[in-house]
Structure 1
Amino acid sequence: MNIPKLKHSGSGNFFLIAGPCAIENRPMALDIAAKLVDITNRLEIPFLFKGSYRKANRTKLNSFTGIGDVAALEILKEVGETFDVPTVTDFHESHEAAMAAHYVDVLQIPAFLCRQTDMLTAAAETGKVVNIKKGQFMSGDSMAFAVEKVKSVNPDAAVFLTDRGNSFGYGDLIVDYRNLPVMQAHGVPVVMDCTHSLQQPNQSSGVTGGKPALIATIAKAAIAVGADGLFIETHPNPSEAKSDGANMLPLNQLEELLAKLVRIRKAIS
C-alpha cells in the first residue's frame, strides 16, 4: 500500500497503527510518538501514529471530547513532520473530511459510521488513504460494499479494513477471526484492532469498560491468522487517560509484546 512516509515496508513485518485514543495535549503526543518511533524502528515494523482530534461518540454528555479540532490536528501534523511518520485520525461527519485531510495521511471511518455513504465518499474525494473500521454489527463479507463506495469515487484509493470485534449481547464484544481472511478477499489489507475489540460498552456507569489483560491474546491470534496490520491504542498511564483508558495498553508493555509478535510473524512466514 502506498502510504506517504511509511518505513520498513520491505521488512516482512505487519504494520502497526498506534498512539493514544485522543490527543490530550502536545507534550504527551510527542512523547508517545517518540517512544513508538524508537521501538518500531528497532523492530523494523512499519508504523503509523494514530490520535483522534475529537471523540464524538461518547456515552455521557460530560465525557471528554477533545482539546479543539484545529489544536489537535496541528499536533498530529507536528508529530508527522517531527518524526517523518504517517498519521491517522478519525472523523465523524462528511464535511470534516477535507479539514482533517490537510493535517493527516490516513482518514479513518469510525465503526459505527462504516455504512455512511457520504462519509466514505468524502474520504475518497480527499485522495488520502482510507481506513474503514468494521462495524460491530457487520460481517466481514458485507464490508465489500464499504470498499466499493470508496473505489466508486476514487478507483485508485488506498483502502484498508480494520476489525474491532462484533457485539455480543449488550455489554461485550467477541472477535470472529474468520472475518480477517474474508475481508482480505476484498483485495485490501486487513488490520486487527486489539484494544477496541476488548471494550465492554454500555456500562451502567456511562463509562466504557475493557479487558486490557487480553490485548496480547487478541494480537497473537491475529498475527497467527495472517493479519496485515495491528491497531493498538497505548498511553503512559491508561488509568489517567481522558478517553478509553479501560482498554488501552500501558506504553511500557508495548515493546515486549511487539517483539513476540515479530517472532510469530517470522514463524508463520
Structure 2
Amino acid sequence: MTINPDSFFLVAGPCVIESEALLMNIAETMVDITSSLGIDYYFKASYDKANRTSINGFRGPGIDRGLELLSAVKREFGVKILTDVHQESDIACVAEVADVIQIPAFLCRQTSLIEAAAKTDCVVNIKKGQFLSPEDMQYAVSKVKPHSKQACWVTERGSCFGYRNLVVDMRSLAIMKATTGSQVVFDATHSVQQPGANAGSTGGQREYVPLLARSAVAAGVDGLFFETHPTPEHAKSDAANTLPLSMMRSLLAQLNELHQMIQRQALVTGEV
C-alpha cells in the first residue's frame, strides 16, 4: 500500500467490540478501501463503553477479551489500532496493543488519566468535551507534551446546544490547530448524536454525517473519524449515528477527491 502523504488520515470502525467476526469483517473492508485510496488508516473499537446512558446499555467484552480481539485484528491486517481508556489502571495493558490511546470527551480534563496515557509510547488522542471551548483544548494538550515524544491529536465531536442536541462550529478546527499545535481530527459520526434522545439510549441523525465530513475536509482537518457497522440498526452502541459499512467506499472517495482539489487550489494560491 502506498499512502498519499497529502491525504487526511482516517480512524474508523465499530463503536464497540461485539464479536470477532464483526471486527474482522469491518477491518477487512476498511483496509481494502483505504489501501485503494492511499489513506493512512487506524482501526478503532472500544472494549468497554463505560459511559453508557443506561445501566442496560451494552458495554462490550471487557479489557482482557477486548484487547485479545484487537490484537487479532492487528496481526491479521497489519493495521494500527485506536481504543479509548476510562481509567488509569487500563493504560499499561492497552499500550501493549494500541498505537493510539484515546481520552474520551467526558474525561478530557482528567489530568492523571491524560498524563498516564502520555507516558506510554502511544499517540494520545484527546476528544474535546461537548462542554469545552476549542481554545481550552490547549490546556489538555499541555498535560501530554511534557511526558510524551509521540504526537498528540485533538478531536472535535460537537458542542452541547440545549438538551439532547449537538452542533459543530467549524471554526473550532482552525482554532484548535492554532492554539494547540496538534493535528486536528473531526469525528463526523459522534457530532450528529442526540444524547439520551431514545428513551435511555443515544439518538442521532446519520443523514448529516457526509455533509459535516465534507465541511471538515474543506476546513483543512488533518484526520477524520467515523463509526461504521454492516447493519447500523443492529449495532449495540450508537446505532442511530453509525454509518453503514456499504457507504464507506463512496463517501471516502468523495472526501479524498475534495481534499485533493482543495490541496491543488491551495498550491495555486500559495496558502500552503
**2:265 matches 1:268:** no
**Alpha-carbon separation, structure 1, partners of 2:187 and 2:169:** 12
Q: Alpha carbons of 1:205 and 1:86: their partners in 2 closer, same or farther (altered >3 Å)?
A: same
Which residue of 1 is the match for residue 192 of structure 2? 198
**Alpha-carbon separation, structure 2, partners of 1:180 and 1:160:** 12
Aligned partner of 1:51 among 45, 50, 57: 45
Question: Alignment RMSD, CA only?
Answer: 1.1
**Alpha-carbon separation, structure 1, partners of 2:9 and 2:195:** 27
Which residue of 1 is the match for residue 160 of structure 2? 167
User: Which piece of structure 1 moves more, 244-253 or 179-188?
Assistant: 179-188
5+ unaligned residues in a row in structure 2: which ranges?
264-272
Note if contact 1:48-1:85 (Cα within 8 Å) is conserved in structure 2: yes
**2:243 matches 1:220:** no
Which residue of 1 is the match for residue 23 of structure 2? 29
SS of the aligned residue for 2:11 comes to: strand
Which residue of 2 is the match for residue 129 of structure 1? 123
Q: Which amino acid aligns with 1:262?
A: N
Aligned partner of 1:237 among 231, 238, 248: 231
TM-score by length of 2: 0.94
Question: CA offsets per residue over residues 220-243 of structure 1, 9 Å max, x none?
Answer: 000000000100000000010111
Q: Alpha carbons of 1:32 and 1:245: their partners in 2 closer, same or farther (altered >3 Å)?
A: same
SS of the aligned residue for 2:173 comes to: helix
Q: Which runs of 4+ in 1 moved over 6 A?
A: none
**Alpha-carbon separation, structure 2, partners of 1:179 and 1:9:** 27
1:187 CA displacement: 1.2
**Alpha-carbon separation, structure 2, partners of 1:8 and 1:133:** 29
Which residue of 1 is the match for residue 268 of structure 2? none
Aligned partner of 2:55 among 55, 61, 64: 61
**Alpha-carbon separation, structure 1, partners of 2:241 and 2:44:** 16
1:94 CA displacement: 1.5
Which residue of 2 is the match for residue 4 of structure 1? none
How many aligned positions are there? 262
**Alpha-carbon separation, structure 2, partners of 1:266 and 1:153:** 35
SS of the aligned residue for 1:28 comes to: helix
5+ unaligned residues in a row in structure 1: which ranges?
1-6
Note if contact 1:95-1:122 (Cα within 8 Å) is conserved in structure 2: no
Question: CA offsets per residue over residues 103-157 of structure 1, 9 Å max, x none?
Answer: 2111000000000001100101112110100000111110001110011222x23
User: Which piece of structure 1 moves more, 33-42 or 182-191?
Assistant: 182-191
SS of the aligned residue for 1:161 comes to: strand
Aligned partner of 1:246 among 240, 248, 260: 240
**2:253 matches 1:259:** yes
Quote the sequence identity (%): 49
TM-score by length of 1: 0.95
**Alpha-carbon separation, structure 1, partners of 2:200 and 2:10:** 30
Which residue of 2 is the match for residue 81 of structure 1? 75
**Alpha-carbon separation, structure 1, partners of 2:206 and 2:143:** 34
SS of the aligned residue for 1:231 comes to: strand
**Alpha-carbon separation, structure 2, partners of 1:86 and 1:171:** 33
Which residue of 2 is the match for residue 180 of structure 1? 173
Q: Which amino acid aligns with 1:48?
A: Y
Which residue of 1 is the match for residue 138 of structure 2? 144
Which residue of 2 is the match for residue 97 of structure 1? 91
Note if contact 1:150-1:157 (Cα within 8 Å) is conserved in structure 2: no
**Alpha-carbon separation, structure 1, partners of 2:217 and 2:166:** 19
Note if contact 1:233-1:249 (Cα within 8 Å) is conserved in structure 2: yes
**Alpha-carbon separation, structure 2, partners of 1:267 and 1:141:** 29
Note if contact 2:135-2:176 (Cα within 8 Å) is conserved in structure 1: yes
1:12 CA displacement: 1.3
